[in-house]
């Protein structure tokens, strides 16, 4: 499907939860966040319906995000439900990797094709400081398990402050080169000020070639990460919400005052 700027939109990012088992400083505020109510979170059956209709309209690439998608109960079952939808050519997940060692094999067996794992530093102490309590080694073991499970490619999302020449970024780059991993550098973004830039080694933030829509955990179809516009699948119907979001896609992102990264999945 084409949006009003003739961009081919074939990619749907689905945030399945606002919950996370880490508290990264650039994502979650110090004093925590108010979590979405369970009753407002859309079910796996609703998500599968969205995927079926989205595919019939031209979507063929699906990414599951969060919060942290692996903390949502029975996430492997959701992957299986999406993988069985005809027309889904590319099924990926973005995870912080903390639970990945346990989930890599079952995810791969359920039809997941590829994975992005967040890793900003290889300094264990700094990792714990950035994530407010995370353990670097659980993530490194998760990455290994993902490669062993045959997920490919395994990409590393490395958030940088200023440049990919920062010492932590260079260390992550070398780690990736030594372990057959692809690295992408993500400049810190700010939804409320509209500060963002193109992902180094990826396609995010490249508005001129934007190909995506987003679905929030509460069933809001969003035309753009840096916009307040959203269309409720429960109110408008799934097809109506997708078509409205497509028509409302902006030429480029501006600001988003209604979402946070942990409930829209970046």
Question: What is the closest distance, in whole angstroms, from the C-beta atom of residue 251 to ligand SF4 in the complex?
Answer: 7
| Rounded CA separation 51/190 (Å) | 29
Give the nearer residue to ligand SF4 in terms of CB position, either 111 or 202. Answer: 202
If one asks whether residue 207 binds ligand SF4 (CB under 6 A), the answer comes out as yes
CB 138 within 8 A of CB 174: no
| Piece in contact with ligand SF4 (CB under 6 A), picked from 18-26, 72-80, 232-240, 248-256 | 248-256
Give the nearer residue to ligand SF4 in terms of CB position, either 205 or 217. Answer: 205
Give the nearer residue to ligand SF4 in terms of CB position, either 226 or 261. Answer: 226
Size of the site for ligand SF4 (CB under 6 A): 11
If one asks whether residue 224 binds ligand SF4 (CB under 6 A), the answer comes out as yes
If one asks whether residue 62 binds ligand SF4 (CB under 6 A), the answer comes out as no
| Rounded CA separation 191/200 (Å) | 19
If one asks whether residue 12 binds ligand SF4 (CB under 6 A), the answer comes out as no
If one asks whether residue 206 binds ligand SF4 (CB under 6 A), the answer comes out as yes
Residue in 59, 64, 210, 215 binding ligand SF4, rule: CB under 6 A:
210
Q: Which of 46, 120, 129, 34 is nearest to 82 (CA)?
A: 46
| Rounded CA separation 171/159 (Å) | 13
| Rounded CA separation 212/148 (Å) | 30
Question: What is the closest distance, in whole angstroms, from the C-beta atom of residue 210 to ligand SF4 in the complex?
Answer: 3
Tokens representing 134? 């995370």
Question: What is the closest distance, in whole angstroms, from the C-beta atom of residue 81 to ligand SF4 in the complex?
Answer: 25
Per residue, what are the HEC states of 199-229? CECCCCCCHHHCCEEEECCCCEEECCCCCCC
Phi, psi (5° rounding) for residue 66? -145, -135
Give the nearer residue to ligand SF4 in terms of CB position, either 122 or 207. Answer: 207
Tell me the sheet residues that pair with 213.
12
CB 87 within 8 A of CB 60: yes
If one asks whether residue 225 binds ligand SF4 (CB under 6 A), the answer comes out as yes
Residue in 252, 255, 258, 260 binding ligand SF4, rule: CB under 6 A:
252
Residue in 69, 217, 253, 266 binding ligand SF4, rule: CB under 6 A:
253
| Piece in contact with ligand SF4 (CB under 6 A), picked from 30-38, 52-60, 85-93, 224-232 | 224-232
Q: List alpha helices for the chain, DSSP H.
A: 44-57, 75-83, 100-109, 124-130, 136-148, 167-178, 233-236, 238-247
Q: CA 134, 135, 136, 139 torsion: positive or negative? A: negative
Question: What is the closest distance, in whole angstroms, from the C-beta atom of residue 256 to ligand SF4 in the complex?
Answer: 9
Positions that interact with ligand SF4 (CB under 6 A): 205-207, 210, 212, 224-226, 250, 252-253
């Amino acid at each position: 499907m084409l949006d009003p700027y003739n961009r081919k939109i074939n990619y749907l990012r689905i945030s399945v939860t606002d919950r996370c088992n880490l508290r990264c400083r650039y994502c979650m505020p110090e004093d925590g966040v108010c979590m979405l109510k369970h009753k407002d979170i859309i079910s796996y059956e609703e998500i599968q319906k969205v995927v079926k209709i989205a595919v019939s309209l031209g979507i063929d690439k699906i990414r599951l995000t969060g919060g942290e998608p692996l903390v949502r109960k029975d996430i492997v079952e959701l992957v299986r439900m999406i993988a069985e939808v005809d027309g889904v050519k590319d099924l990926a997940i973005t995870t912080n990797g903390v639970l990945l060692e346990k989930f890599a094999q079952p995810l791969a067996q359920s039809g997941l094709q590829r994975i992005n794992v967040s890793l900003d530093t290889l300094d264990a102490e700094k990792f714990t400081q950035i994530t407010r309590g995370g353990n670097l080694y659980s993530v490194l073991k998760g990455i290994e398990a993902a490669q062993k499970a045959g997920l490919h490619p395994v990409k590393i999302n490395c958030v940088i402050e200023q440049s990919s020449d920062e010492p932590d970024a260079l260390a992550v780059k070398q780690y990736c080169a030594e372990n057959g991993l692809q690295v992408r550098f993500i400049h810190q973004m700010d939804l409320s000020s509209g500060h963002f830039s193109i992902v180094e080694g990826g396609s995010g933030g490249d508005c001129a070639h934007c190909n995506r829509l987003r679905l929030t955990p509460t069933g809001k179809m969003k035309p753009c990460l840096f916009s307040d516009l959203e269309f409720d699948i429960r109110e408008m119907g799934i097809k109506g919400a997708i078509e409205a979001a497509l028509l409302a896609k902006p030429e480029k992102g501006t600001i988003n005052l209604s979402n946070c990264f942990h409930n829209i999945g970046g």
